[in-house]
Amino acid sequence: EKLIKEETERRVLFNKYQELKGNIRVMCRVRPVLGNAEGNPAQIGFPDEKTSAQIDVTQEEKNSMGVVSRKVVPFEFDRVFTPAVHNEEIFGEISQLVQSALDGYNVCIFCYGQTGSGKTYTMSSPDGMIPRATHMIYETITKLKEKSWTYTMEGSFVEVYNEELHDLLTPGRESDGKRRLEIRHDDSRKQTSVLNCKTVALDSPDKVEMMLKQAQNNRSVAATKANERSSRSHSVFILRLVGYNSATNERCEGTLNLVDLAGSERLKHSQAEGERMRETQNINKSLACLGDVIEALGRGSGHIPYRNSKLTHLLQYSLGGNSKTLMFVMVSPLEAHLKETITSLRFATKVHNTHIGTAKSTK
């Protein structure tokens, strides 16, 4: 009883804190160097251990005389994680946000960054955010039973590839007769459903593991080279939570979207041909569109360009309005990746400087 009370108080406080700060957060994670063979590390500094909110990147510049000078470029986010930080600690930082999906919020967590920066490791490895989030939700649902709340938890897993939506839980390809997915919005309830998409009742922890494996298999089957495909598509794990309190007759509905974005590296159009070119254009377009949507929400614009990309269309009711957003910007520690690192950190800074209203629980 005491634990439940403390837990409830913590969540109330957290939601108050969110309201004060607006409902968009940006955190940065730098992955470790994986071995000598990876190449030279870049000079990345973490100047403020106390708040852990800053990251400095040192850039070298040559002037016309060939003299090399060094420039330190500082960035600031809500939180910065050094390479020594494990998935467990990262999850500890975001667990309140995951819990708020149980309080009836729509929550979106993105991993943004170039290929190889640690997005998949953070999101869907066996100790990553998807298994940890579902596990924690089970535990909380069990505790909430004592307060007369019963919850159903359903998961689906989709991929946006070349501006087309694919179901990762149904094997096969659309060209072989698999039904096409369609996004349907219920504007009055501010909810989104995906027609023809398989949904799995996640009523036990091992179902999550099965689901992740299935998604991984279906992704590999659809691609000639699995890694290439997964770095060039966005994957979205959608967890729908519906709660009912038999004592008070209250209902609440929340969604947790965990999004592993396509690699943000900017392939030059001149280097890409044919299918590659189309993929590149679609990735560039959809990531830019995500930035535009967040910016428009921040400006309080009357028109939010959700429909300009499949991903933002799918996430319409989880971006802005009654929602909370967290973006992880993932950083490679290597010198060879410095240019992309700075581009990623700039994109993330824009998102960080955006203040999007406050979210209200449906509870």
- Least distance (Å) from ligand ADP to the CB of residue 118? 3
Q: By Cβ distance, which residue is nearest to ligand ADP?
A: 118
- Least distance (Å) from ligand ADP to the CB of residue 334? 11
- The residue (of 67 and 84) whose beta carbon lies closer to ligand ADP is 84
- Least distance (Å) from ligand ADP to the CB of residue 3? 31
- The residue (of 231 and 233) whose beta carbon lies closer to ligand ADP is 231
Whether 114 and 332 have beta carbons less than 8 Å apart is answered as yes
By C-alpha distance, which of 85, 55, 51, 57 is closest to 71? 57
Report whether 115 belongs to an annotated binding site. yes
- The residue (of 31 and 352) whose beta carbon lies closer to ligand ADP is 31
Whether 362 and 253 have beta carbons less than 8 Å apart is answered as yes
- Least distance (Å) from ligand ADP to the CB of residue 135? 19
Report whether 143 belongs to an annotated binding site. no
Backbone φ and ψ of 183, nearest 5°:
-85, 130
- Least distance (Å) from ligand ADP to the CB of residue 81? 9
Q: Which string of b and e fits 176-200 if b means at least 16 CB within 10 Å?
A: eeeeebebeeeeeebebebeebbeb
CA distance 257 to 108: 5
- The residue (of 121 and 244) whose beta carbon lies closer to ligand ADP is 121
Give the number of other Cβ atoms within 10 Å of residue 105's Cβ: 28
Whether 361 and 253 have beta carbons less than 8 Å apart is answered as no
- The residue (of 160 and 202) whose beta carbon lies closer to ligand ADP is 160
Q: Output the six-digit token pair for 211.
A: 């689901």
By C-alpha distance, which of 201, 197, 192, 190 is closest to 134? 201
Q: Output the six-digit token pair for 311.
A: 């991903």
Report whether 300 belongs to an annotated binding site. no
Query: Cα-Cα-Cα-Cα dihedral of 96, 98, 104, 110, to 10°?
Result: 120
- The residue (of 122 and 325) whose beta carbon lies closer to ligand ADP is 122
What residue ranges bind ligand ADP (CB under 6 A)? 31-32, 34, 113, 115-121, 231, 330
- Least distance (Å) from ligand ADP to the CB of residue 77? 17
- The residue (of 102 and 331) whose beta carbon lies closer to ligand ADP is 331
User: 118: phi > 0 → left, psi -120 to 50 → alpha, else beta; which?
Assistant: left
By C-alpha distance, which of 149, 293, 165, 287 is closest to 238? 165
Task: Mark the binding-site residues, compressed into ranges.
Answer: 113-120
Task: Mark the binding-site residues for ATP, compressed into ranges.
Answer: 113-120
